[in-house]
Homo-oligomer: A and B are copies of this chain.
Amino acid sequence: MATKYVYINDTFITEDKAALLITDLAIQRGYGIFDFFKTIGGKPIFLEDHLDRFYHSAHKMHLNIAYSREELKSILAELMEKNDLPDSGIRITLTGGYSTDGYLLPDKQNLIITQQHFLMDLELNTRGIRLLTYDYQRQLARMKTIDYAMAIWLQPFIKENNADDVLYHHNGQVKEVPRANFFIVSEQGEVITAKGDVLPGVTRKNLLSLENHELKITEREFTLEELQNAREAFITSTTKHILPVLQIDGRPVGDGKAGKISEQLLALLVEKVKRN
């Protein structure tokens, strides 16, 4: 396998050498943000949406990106050229930076861009996944921070319960999955995703802006009870597109199979990805 390059603070280096000094606030205090997009056949998908969110997360988290959007795009283009991985995932990480006392946020942050081979599956995964509900509200939930402490901590719990991931809820309201947004098709056929303190996912955004009125999605709070009566459920993310949720806490969702609306929405999403 060819050596992969990483962009880190103004230089391209090989990934085996990409390191941060331990005074960085990600290592000291878990402070940083990131974004992640895919490329299909060398073309970045929904890049503008991801850059919008990345600059927004940085601003809200008091972090400085040393590059204009155009500069960042040309760095991304150069990295893609060097790595020659047409089907890939690209992660842009901005850490708190080197802090002299390990606590105060410095003015200069550390920027890291990595690329991995990743081949997107455009078909519906009809095997779907099993979730466990868990009471938790992500902190600073509308920014894409590096904080996945709860999700990592829950890995053994998920494994012990023969599940694939957790579904966060709080104060009776359904929220999201650690790395994906969550949707249901209600008893009445309404497609719903949580509003408020959840990550504004890029796939979620692109689904919400679909112009098909039969499949209009409502963004609103919804309860664990509505979830129990859902006909279908699915998660959305950059690497999953739409992935059916077939079981929650050991009970089947609807008839326990991938649903028709999930499939229709995926077709519309894939169309949008191809037009991108």
Report which A residues bind B (CB closer than 8 A). Answer: 6, 8, 16, 18-22, 24-32, 61-62, 91, 93, 95-96, 102-105, 112, 114, 136, 139-140, 145-153, 155-156, 179
List, in ascending order, chain B residues with CB within 8 A of A104's CB. Answer: 155
Asked if B150 and A25 sit within 8 Å, CB to CB, the answer is: no
Closest to A136 in B: B139
Q: Give the distance to chain B from A91, nearest Cβ to Cβ, in Å.
A: 8
Asked if B27 and A6 sit within 8 Å, CB to CB, the answer is: no
List, in ascending order, chain B residues with CB within 8 A of A179's CB. Answer: 103
Q: Please list 13 pairs of residues, one from A and one from B, whose beta carbons are closer than 8 Å in the complex, sorted by A's number.
A: A22-B93, A22-B112, A27-B32, A27-B112, A29-B146, A29-B151, A30-B145, A31-B149, A31-B153, A105-B152, A139-B150, A140-B149, A140-B153
Q: A26-B27, A30-B31, A140-B149 are in contact. List 15 more A-B contacts (CB 8 A).
A: A8-B22, A16-B21, A18-B22, A19-B22, A22-B112, A22-B114, A24-B27, A26-B26, A27-B112, A30-B30, A31-B149, A136-B139, A140-B150, A145-B149, A147-B147
List, in ascending order, chain B residues with CB within 8 A of A102's CB. Answer: 91
Give the docked Cα–Cα distance between A29 and B179 (Å): 11
Give the docked Cα–Cα distance between A114 and B99 (Å): 14
Asked if A30 and B147 sit within 8 Å, CB to CB, the answer is: yes
Give the docked Cα–Cα distance between A241 and B129 (Å): 50
Q: Which of B19, B112, B114, B148 contacts A30 (CB 8 A)?
A: B148
List, in ascending order, chain B residues with CB within 8 A of A149's CB. Answer: 29-31, 139-140, 145, 147
List, in ascending order, chain B residues with CB within 8 A of A153's CB. Answer: 31, 61-62, 140
Q: Which of B18, B28, B95, B136 contacts A146 (CB 8 A)?
A: B28
List, in ascending order, chain B residues with CB within 8 A of A95's CB. Answer: 27
Asked if B152 and A103 sit within 8 Å, CB to CB, the answer is: yes
List, in ascending order, chain B residues with CB within 8 A of A96's CB. Answer: 152
Q: Give the distance to chain B from A89, nearest Cβ to Cβ, in Å.
A: 10
Q: Which of B16, B30, B114, B136 contacts A26 (CB 8 A)?
A: B30
Give the docked Cα–Cα distance between A155 and B156 (Å): 34
Q: Which of B32, B140, B145, B152 contacts A31 (CB 8 A)?
A: B152
